[in-house]
Amino acid sequence: MHVRPLEVADLAQVMEIAKWLHQNSRYKVFTFDEQKVLRLIAGSLLEDTSFFVSVAEKDGKILGYFHGYVDYHYFSDMKYAGDWAVCILPEYRKHAPNILRQFVSAFEQWGRENGAEEISIGASTEAYGTGYKKFLQRMGYRDVGFLAVKG
């Protein structure tokens, strides 16, 4: 098992994981715009992009992916890096600590190389295990707020 940047040949498998994440998260109440998600994921294949996608792969099978971005901070012309989606399929979660460590390390390096002053990672899908927050804390991340959803 290894983590590497997204390749064109991975798109179909990553899209299937994105669909799984959508259907197994609180976001299933929203429509799934396949073309939009594909554009955002495939954006990482372009040069001069602000999109990051890394995949965990074993024997040609994609086990999960990390999708991040770099953007300008709301208050500043300085950049930060954030994540849109992180998903490891349930049947491969025994490898989650190793995969996540590689995902986060690659994302942090990419973010710094693309001018990010800050790296922020969160979870709002309600599809993550209890260990994810603890993992991020062990990687040096801290709580800075919360997300509230009505209903």
**Per-domain boundaries in the chain:** 2-138
pLDDT, the chain, mean: 95
> Which pLDDT band, with edges at 50, 70 and 90, does 18 fall under?
very high
Residues, the chain, total? 151
List the one residue out of 44, 85, 47, 83 whose CA is nearest residue 65. Answer: 85
Indicate yes or no: pTM above 0.85. Answer: yes
> What b/e string do you get for 64-96 counting C-beta neighbours within 10 Å, with b at 16 or more?
bbbbbbbeeeeeeeebbbbbebbbbbeebeeeb
The CATH number assigned to the domain with range 2-138 reads 3.40.630.30
Measured between alpha carbons, how far is 32 from 120 in angstroms, rounded to an integer? 25
Residue 44, φ and ψ in degrees, nearest 5? -70, -15
